[in-house]
Structure 1
Amino acid sequence: MTSPSKATAVTALAPGTLQSWFKEHQDLVVIDVRSAAEFESMHIRGSYNVPLPLLSEHTDELAARLGSRVVLVCQSGARAEQARQRLGGAGIGTAYVLTGGVPGFAAAGGDVVRGKNRWDLERQVRLAAGSLVVLGLAGGKFVSPKIRMLAAAIGTGLTFSAATNTCAMGQAISAMPWNKAAKEPTRESAILQFPVGPAAEAEAKAS
């Protein structure tokens, strides 16, 4: 089994390994960086919901509270990888990204909690992008050729998204009312739920 302290270069974690870690390691922390609505729909039992925008805003504070065995999860792995890079910049070099995301973990027989069925954010992005491309092409043919620029803009945006591993459209869609949960995570409810880690304790003693 891979040990976080011996192979920090390996960042992908298989669903089966995570299932074993739940049984073998009490210090395991699983952080789900999807939106609260996606988390409500289905999440890994025992995981914590810290949406990526919130994690990005309080990266240093969260990093100070984490130990050496951290697994980041999302729908497919893209947002979890962004979170891993941010935490890496804050000194957490042992974070792992779950391969296949929450759906992959569920498909492998992992213990998940299911709630209200919703479209995940990445599926909504595909629908929105595809619809805008079709609209641009149809408008360019039947209304004005200039409308085709809409399809070109979407293509450019998707290319930029892939190159930078970001998604402005996803961030915009996540702010829509239907993607809001009854209780949205806050710094107090999400970040401060973790106990103070060794780094924060050492800093407090030094001061």
Structure 2
Amino acid sequence: MSVSTISPQQLFELRQSGQPVELIDVRTPVEYREVHVEFARNVPLDQFDVRKVTEQKASQNDPLYLICKSGGRGRQACEKLQNAGYSNVMNVEGGTQAWDQAGLPVVRGKKAVSLERQVRIAAGTLVVLGTALGAFVSPYWLGLSAFVGAGLVFAGVTDTCGMAMILARMPWNQVTGASCSAK
């Protein structure tokens, strides 16, 4: 499926020209809290409901722009919308990283360990643990390392990471207090 893209600079210029710009940030609330485009609204991908997102649009004819950290989750959200029959969607090329690197305005908040780093830490820990238990306790524990390896292969092939989805729901990855949605 082909997903249309727009550069951060083009989107910024559209917004500056007075065009209506609806930007949905599909990262986790913690990632959003750390840094986000000032006019983005946070709707995490794991909670992304096409009907709710499109209901909240000012006009159904206006395009809907999606952004994430680097482009992958934004593309997935665009595909969800396209599969539901909504074609006027665009993914921001390079995501929030590219927006920030272009020197465009962002809101900065509390720093956090990225979800990607958390996955690498958890996967590495499980592989080391499975290998150590397999060597010193029972060879059956090697299955843990194999399971994690298979999960990483699956994540690479499908661009969907089960471990990231689980980690995103952990308490340390939740934002308490104020709502994470903006404007």
TM-score, shorter chain, exceeding 0.5? yes
- 1: distance between equivalents of 2:95 and 2:73? 10
- 1: distance between equivalents of 2:25 and 2:45? 9
In the alignment, is the contact (CA less than 8 A) between 1:42 and 1:113 conserved in 2?
A: yes
Range with greater deviation from structure 2 (44-53 or 58-67): 58-67
Correspondence for 2:6 among 3, 13, 16? 13
Structure 1 residue 10 displacement after superposition? 5.0
Correspondence for 2:26 among 22, 26, 33? 33
- 2: distance between equivalents of 1:164 and 1:123? 19
- What TM-score, normalized by structure 2, do the two folds share? 0.85
Look up the match of 1:63: 54
- 1: distance between equivalents of 2:178 and 2:149? 32
Question: SS state of the match for residue 93, structure 1?
Answer: coil
* Residues 81-160 of structure 1 aligned to structure 2 (within 5 Å): 81-160=75-154
- 1: distance between equivalents of 2:126 and 2:162? 15
Let me know the Cα RMSD of the aligned residues. 2.4
Query: Any unmatched runs of 5+ in structure 1?
Result: 1-7, 195-207
Structure 1's consecutive aligned runs of 4 or more residues displaced over 4 angstroms after TM superposition are none
Range with greater deviation from structure 2 (29-38 or 121-130): 121-130
Q: Does 1:52 align with 2:45?
A: yes
Look up the match of 2:72: 78
Percent of pairs with identical residues:
37
Look up the match of 1:3: none
In the alignment, is the contact (CA less than 8 A) between 1:33 and 1:50 conserved in 2?
A: yes
- 1: distance between equivalents of 2:103 and 2:87? 28
Residue identity in the other structure for 1:148: L
Question: SS state of the match for residue 181, structure 1?
Answer: coil
Aligned length: 180
In the alignment, is the contact (CA less than 8 A) between 2:3 and 2:78 conserved in 1?
A: no
Distance change (3 Å), C-alpha of 1:89 and 1:152: same
